[in-house]
Amino acid sequence: MIIEEFMEIWDFLQQTLSGKVPIIKCNENTFLKWKWWDEGVLELIPHNNITQQTMVISCGLHGNETAPVEMLNKVLNTLIHGKQPLYFHLLVILGNPAALRIGKRFVDYDINRLFGINCYKMDKHQENRRAKQLEEVIKEFWKNSAKKIRWHIDLHTALRRSYHTNFGILPLKKDMYSKNFLDWLTAAGLEALVFQSMSSNTFTNFSCEIFNSNSCTLELGTAKPFGKNNLAQINITYIALSRLLSYGTILKQFNIIPQHYRVTQQLIKLSKKFVLHMSNNTLNFTSFRQNTLLAEDGLTRYFVQQDHEYIIFPNPNVSIGQRAGLMLKIEE
Ligand SMILES: [Zn+2]
């Protein structure tokens, strides 16, 4: 049964921010049926489910990164209100509703450093419980699926300004990333793709490592509160996402071909003595010459090893044990 009056008003983002369980947990329209799994987790199944590909799209892991949350919700509204068809079996995740409600990066701890680890000391953190829940959600979504082409797109905004405004981080993968996936990232307006060379504890690393999915963390512009975002700045990503989800199409006339980078080293904050030798205003993808002292931490010193290396996410204020920056080289 299609409950049309209800479909007119239901909004997944507002429902999630309310913190309430929805009165109606599943519904359908001409193109699809949807099912609310849990807070911030929604499954959409096309009636005409012909492709071998399934998709997970997440956003809002960091509660202050609201532009992609608003963008994804806009796409989602066209789907759940039956204005556009759905091409893929899709799982949508709002990663950290508690942090989204207070507009902060996290409540207790950065959730995007907590996937794929078991640490009983962290159980008191709400983000640790949420990360474990999201791991189970992904396992449940993919464990019974005969469809073997898996994509996971995790949408973020960066904390600082950048020489490449929109870029993606791709976790270390057992085999090659599919050409279609890389083409879609290009169509989505990414100016740089950063290929990880080691495992990490991000959400996309988890999906890629466990399910060998084509996974990417997208960094789109800079973080602003709800209502303050200029979605026109990420319109190219919105269009690419909307076309992909509704028709499975990837526009292949690219304005920009993204620069490829490979991670060379991580600057790990080992103790309170950690000092990062660069200004607070350092832009992402700033270049440093070989032998430049980047950071020191007691007797440990981090130097540029390649001819040139480029930094992303420099942040000396992370917790001890976390990365305070990632160094990259250009991949020829
Ligand atoms: Zn983020």
Q: 234 with 308, same domain?
A: no
Cα(62) to centroid of ligand 1, in Å? 5
Is 255 part of any domain? no
Total domains in the chain come to 2
Q: Which residue has the tokens 């440990």?
A: 300
- Closest by CA position to 268, among listed 229, 246, 227, 296: 296
**Which residue among the candidates 43, 127, 219, 309 is catalytic per the annotation?**
219
pLDDT tens for residues 104-128?
A: 999 999 999 999 986 656 677 899 9
Instruction: Give the CATH number of the domain where residue 106 resides.
Output: 3.40.630.10
pLDDT at 302 over 90: yes
Alpha carbon distance 200, 257 (integer Å): 27
Partner residues linked to 90 by β-bridges = 44, 55
Q: 217 with 69, same domain?
A: yes
Q: 241 with 275, same domain?
A: no
Q: 207 with 303, same domain?
A: no
Q: 58 with 186, same domain?
A: yes
Q: 153 with 285, same domain?
A: no
Alpha carbon distance 12, 76 (integer Å): 8
Query: Does residue 219 carry a catalytic annotation?
Result: yes
Question: CB within 8 A of 189, min separation 6: which ones?
Answer: 166, 234, 236, 237, 240, 255, 256
pLDDT tens for residues 1-57?
A: 455 555 557 899 999 999 999 998 999 999 999 999 999 999 999 998 888 999 999
pLDDT tens for residues 59-76?
A: 999 999 999 999 999 999
Cα(219) to centroid of ligand 1, in Å? 7
Question: CB within 8 A of 269, min separation 6: which ones?
Answer: 297, 316, 318, 319, 320, 321, 322, 323, 324
Q: How far is CA 82 from CA 44, 78, 94, in A?
A: 12, 6, 21
How high does pLDDT run on average in the chain?
A: 92
Does 135 show up as a binding residue in the annotation?
no
Q: 11 with 41, same domain?
A: yes
Alpha helices (runs of H) in the chain, residue ranges in sequence order: 4-9, 12-18, 67-80, 97-102, 126-143, 179-187, 203-211, 235-247
Domain boundary among 206, 223, 247: 247
pLDDT tens for residues 181-235?
A: 999 999 999 999 999 999 999 999 999 999 999 999 999 987 777 887 777 778 9
**What ipTM does this complex have?**
0.99
Instruction: Give the CATH number of the domain where residue 312 resides.
Output: 2.40.50.630
Domain of 147, in residue numbers: 4-247
